[in-house]
Structure 1
Amino acid sequence: MSKSNQRYNFEISLTDFAEHPIIDRLYKADNQRSTECWSVEEIQGFINDCLIDRNINLSILYWKDINENLYVIDGGHRLSIIYAWVKRYFADEQVEDAPIFTNAQKKDIRLIRNNLGDLADFQKVCEDPVLKDKLKDTKLSFRQVVGTPEQARKVFRSINSDTKRLDKYEEFHLQNRGSDAFYATYACCYINDNRSNLAELQYERINQIIELGEEIHDHLFHTILLDADLTHGRKIGLVSELLNIIAGDASQNIYSNDQGRRVEELMHELWAVLCRISTPAKSIGIPSLGLHPRLYFYKDQNFQITSFLAWFAIVFEIDKGLMEIEGKKVNYKNFIQVRRSVEFLLSNFPVATAETVGKYGSGIKGYERLQTVYKAFICISLTMELDFDDEKRLNTFILSMCKSFKYINFNEFYLERFVGSYDEEVIHKVVGYVESLSPGKKNKPKAFSSLTKRLLREEFEARNHNHCEICDGLIYVDSTEADHRIALSKGGHGIIENGVLVHPICNRIKSDRSLAEVRADLFD
């Protein structure tokens, strides 16, 4: 956007605003966050003030580009409430052309309607001659800020001293405006406030992109990450890196030709991997691994962004057939075969995770190194059966990790004073595999150097939870399927006694076989 140098101030009465052509040219400026900070009581008070307060402040500060689009710099919340009021959203959340409101928003709208009565309906208010005259006299006063967008931001901050700057993740996102990743991230992170930017794609399936973004947002941040306390900017940074894992530099494509389709496909790729990690509220037919967040992505009640990125990358590689060990592709069946062993290592050897993050950093700085550690867990589990009551196998595991990752704390003790038997062949395979891996050469923005955010939750002990009867892996109850112990095709009934919760992908592998048959196929 280029700067405008001619100031244009004007006023619009509230009665004229609903049908005014300016509505189609109003946008929220980039320097304003997507927020819903006004409470129900504040909204009700504001509407009442519009009807009775002769000195109500309806001043709107805006910046205009060369295409005559108006970007609201200050007064966006006031303008949004007036827009919803005149469009009758408060009177009927299902009115024609109304957006798709969330359940929480519907609850607030109904509360406002119940408290305000007929005053919530702008159309009915205008039927009252006295109130209509008041609304005609009440003006929205638009005041233009000229110059560059940054100059407009400085003016905004000068009159709002408590306004915070965008954080580095938001700044980086806006600097990459126009790329496929920019639009995909906008759809996933700016919920209820993304249509104006996505409209730039000029794509006939924009509604589908918006709906998909909402599904990704809810599934990622609520189901998988358990409402981890991430700021808006850090959510943007996380989604940007997930898109980078999937598409690399291709996600920064800025060519407008067919861009809408590319953005939708990129989002579907992200959605598919997230659905492999955990089952969404509305299943799309992709059997998930049902990874338990508390074991895979949390430590000491704190969400670990590095672990999540590492496991997301591993699931993506398995899904695309990109993960290999000793020249053999690792598929979901292979992972299920060793899942219990991998989860045992995650639970009982947190030092591997802690020391890797401590040495290489959290978030984007360290997740590829941590991904290598988790791949080593998979390699060890595929190469030998883990039984730490067996001294030789325990020794083999410890030496494999020591020689593969020389920075791990117990390294010096075991290398200098280690005694006992071990399997040299297994150690050689694991070390060779780890040495064959190296962090990717992707160009990642330094702005995403740290994404870790703490979350206080009830104390959780993963090993005390139920396990899948098919693979012995930890069960995450929000990402399971009910399986028939005796298959329907063999006379089984849909009763409690014949049901068992298993991982969705295990359920697919089991099919109509008995538990003994599928376990024999997996482990014998």
Structure 2
Amino acid sequence: MPKDNPKVSLDALIPREAFEVQGQQSQMILNNIPMIQIRNLEQKDFFYPFLRKPDFQRETNEWDAQKICDFIESFLNGDLIPAVILWRSDSGYFFVIDGSHRLSALIAWINDDYGDKNISNKFYDGYITEEQKNAAQEVRKLIKDKIGSYQDYESSTQHLDKIDQKTLERARNLGSLGIQLQWVGGNASKAADSFFNINQKAAPISPTEMRLLKARNKPNGVAARAIMRSGNGHKYWSEFSQDKQDKIEKLAQEIHQLLFEPKLKNPIKTTDVPMVGNLSTSQKNEFILEFVNIVNNIEAENELDLNDDPTGENTVKFLTNCQKLAQRINTNDPSSLGLHPLIYFYTHDSRYRVGSFYGVVSLVLHLGKNKSYDKFIKCRKDFEFLIWQHDDVVPQIVSKSSAVKAREKVKDFYLTIVEKLTQGVDRKNVMKEIIAEKTFGSLKIKSRVNTNETQSKTFSRETKAAAFIRDALPKVQRCKICGGYLHSHSISIDHKTRKEDGGLGNLDNAQLTHLYCNTTFKN
């Protein structure tokens, strides 16, 4: 499956504002300007500072570098650009009903901010991801090579006798062309209806974004938005008390860090991989929303039944539950099972398995609810051997459904392994029995692809990763209590002989263990 081009985040360039509480317009439509010129989008102009997006608007991050460059080039060449639709609130803001990507692309070009400079830095409070920085550099380089920066055109007007004909024509266009405006009349309710009608017909909102828009006042929606941007960006929680806002931002930042750091680099050359591998922006948004829902026992079809959260209390509760679950999986918290991400969430050649993550989340929730962590710990070494040797089984279970819908089946698959190992079934026979029982459909044990069969002389990224993992995994330390793999984020130094039994704090009495094995299981 071809990889999507990285999307450029232009979300910071037009701020969001709530308009659903506003009343009727105070200005007649005839008084609104019919067109905006390029200088109206400079920060120092009187128009740009009053541009706003509705607070329920999806993120402006659907265009890649090529599309942004092509659009700006079309504008420079004087091609026909569809009108931007605005609505003017009684507070004087100009809300973009349709055309936020078009306006944002031009604003980005004019202010040289493709998600990584002054406007964006202020919006994200200095937190710009490497993915976002790389996408910004890509579009900036493409524009420089193909059409030139806005600043280049400004400078060219001082030397008209020295520029080429094409640049001269484009500079002239910048002084005379603009973007046609169409204004929506009526109150905020009519403007909101116009927004949804236009966006569903012309450029349909993705299912995940639509779910987030509908859940914008509900605890799962606000919690998911907070985690997505690590507590930065537009504050969907700004109406809550300052105490709740601080808690939400702190929790969201920690959860984001636990899930997505350290940043995964391909091909991987370390076993210190994050819980969540590299996902596109749209995949990441869906992943986080589903994670919040699973942890808080919310089915997607019942999202709209959730009550709104006017105080932020339930949002904090949802985030706290997510924090505890992430801590339980793999952190330095005393409750941590220290599940090694490479074993539980990746394949032998470093591909990420979303279905396995959802299944493990459901498994951990089940073990906690049924107080059966110890049962898992007792067979953990063989359990990890089996899921790693048969990393192709979960994708087979998930293939007939979506990853989130299949999570219970994946959880049951894991529990079946635990049950058989507990019953004394030899680990060599566990998968044979599961396949014969056909509880999870017609599963097949697939042989590893022989990478020696390739005709290419160049190693693929997957082959490089597979080679590293093959040689590095045997060197990974194991817990001296359960025998499971140890991850650098979740290691405890345990007394072989307890302190209360006379054990000393010397090297001979020290052993590496999981935190849970040391603080709970052993005791």
Rounded Cα–Cα distance in structure 2 between residues aligned with 1:179 and 1:172: 11
Partner of 2:372: 330
Partner of 2:359: 310
Are residues 15 and 166 of structure 1, via their aligned partners in 2, closer, same or farther at CA, if it must alter by over 3 Å?
closer
Contact 1:62/1:143 (8 A) holds in 2: yes
Partner of 1:70: 95
Residue 178 of structure 1 deviates from its aligned partner by 2.7
Partner of 1:238: 287
State the Cα deviation string for residues 145-191 of structure 1 (Å, max 9, x = none). 5371145448976xxxxxxx543333333344432222112122256
Matched, 1:288 2:336: yes
Contact 1:479/1:504 (8 A) holds in 2: no
Q: Secondary structure of 1:63's match? A: strand
Residue 314 of structure 1 deviates from its aligned partner by 1.4
Residue 377 of structure 1 deviates from its aligned partner by 1.6
Partner of 2:491: 481
Partner of 2:211: 172
Matched, 1:261 2:313: yes
- Which residue among 322, 345, 363 is the counterpart of 2:386? 345
Partner of 1:506: 517
State the Cα deviation string for residues 60-95 of structure 1 (Å, max 9, x = none). 945337665623734453576599889xx967999x
CA RMSD in angstroms comes to: 5.7
Contact 1:342/1:378 (8 A) holds in 2: yes
1:372-411 equivalences in 2 (<5 Å) = 372-381=412-421, 383-385=422-424, 387=426, 394=429, 398-399=432-433, 402-403=436-437, 405=439, 407-409=441-443
Rounded Cα–Cα distance in structure 1 between residues aligned with 2:52 and 2:83: 11
Rounded Cα–Cα distance in structure 2 between residues aligned with 1:92 and 1:173: 25
- Which residue among 457, 460, 474 is the counterpart of 1:464? 474
Q: Secondary structure of 1:148's match? A: helix
Are residues 474 and 76 of structure 1, via their aligned partners in 2, closer, same or farther at CA, if it must alter by over 3 Å?
farther
Residue 99 of structure 1 deviates from its aligned partner by 1.9
Are residues 142 and 80 of structure 1, via their aligned partners in 2, closer, same or farther at CA, if it must alter by over 3 Å?
same
* Residue-pair matches, total: 425
Contact 2:495/2:511 (8 A) holds in 1: yes
Rounded Cα–Cα distance in structure 2 between residues aligned with 1:212 and 1:314: 23
Q: Secondary structure of 2:296's match? A: helix
Contact 1:61/1:144 (8 A) holds in 2: yes
1:40-439 equivalences in 2 (<5 Å) = 61=84, 63-64=86-87, 70-71=95-96, 73=99, 74-77=101-104, 81=108, 99-102=125-128, 104=130, 143-146=181-184, 148-150=194-196, 152-153=198-199, 165-190=204-229, 194-196=233-235, 198-199=236-237, 201-204=239-242, 205-223=244-262, 225=274, 228-249=277-298, 252=304, 253-258=306-311, 260-279=312-331, 285-301=333-349, 302-318=351-367, 321-323=368-370, 329-331=371-373, 333-349=374-390, 353=394, 355-358=396-399, 360-381=400-421, 383-385=422-424, 387=426, 394=429, 398-399=432-433, 402-403=436-437, 405=439, 407-409=441-443
Rounded Cα–Cα distance in structure 2 between residues aligned with 1:154 and 1:400: 45
Are residues 306 and 79 of structure 1, via their aligned partners in 2, closer, same or farther at CA, if it must alter by over 3 Å?
same
Give the aligned residue type for 1:70.
F
Rounded Cα–Cα distance in structure 1 between residues aligned with 2:209 and 2:94: 22
Give the aligned residue type for 1:232.
T
Q: Secondary structure of 1:143's match? A: strand
Rounded Cα–Cα distance in structure 1 between residues aligned with 2:41 and 2:357: 51
Give the aligned residue type for 1:311.
V
Taking structure 2 as the reference length, the TM-score comes to 0.60
Residue 365 of structure 1 deviates from its aligned partner by 2.9
Aligned-residue sequence identity (percent) comes to 15
Contact 2:495/2:510 (8 A) holds in 1: yes
Unaligned stretches of 5+ residues in structure 2: 1-18, 141-150, 152-157, 159-174, 185-192, 263-272, 446-460
Are residues 490 and 100 of structure 1, via their aligned partners in 2, closer, same or farther at CA, if it must alter by over 3 Å?
same
Residue 34 of structure 1 deviates from its aligned partner by 3.5
Rounded Cα–Cα distance in structure 1 between residues aligned with 2:209 and 2:124: 28
Rounded Cα–Cα distance in structure 1 between residues aligned with 2:229 and 2:57: 11
Contact 1:484/1:492 (8 A) holds in 2: no
Contact 2:85/2:181 (8 A) holds in 1: yes
Partner of 1:27: 53
Q: Secondary structure of 2:279's match? A: coil
Rounded Cα–Cα distance in structure 2 between residues aligned with 1:356 and 1:476: 27
Rounded Cα–Cα distance in structure 1 between residues aligned with 2:443 and 2:292: 33
Residue 469 of structure 1 deviates from its aligned partner by 3.4
Unaligned stretches of 5+ residues in structure 1: 47-52, 113-121, 123-129, 131-136, 158-164, 324-328, 412-454, 510-517
State the Cα deviation string for residues 472-507 of structure 1 (Å, max 9, x = none). 4443534232526678982436xxx98754323234
Contact 1:181/1:243 (8 A) holds in 2: yes
Rounded Cα–Cα distance in structure 1 between residues aligned with 2:415 and 2:44: 58
Residue 307 of structure 1 deviates from its aligned partner by 1.4
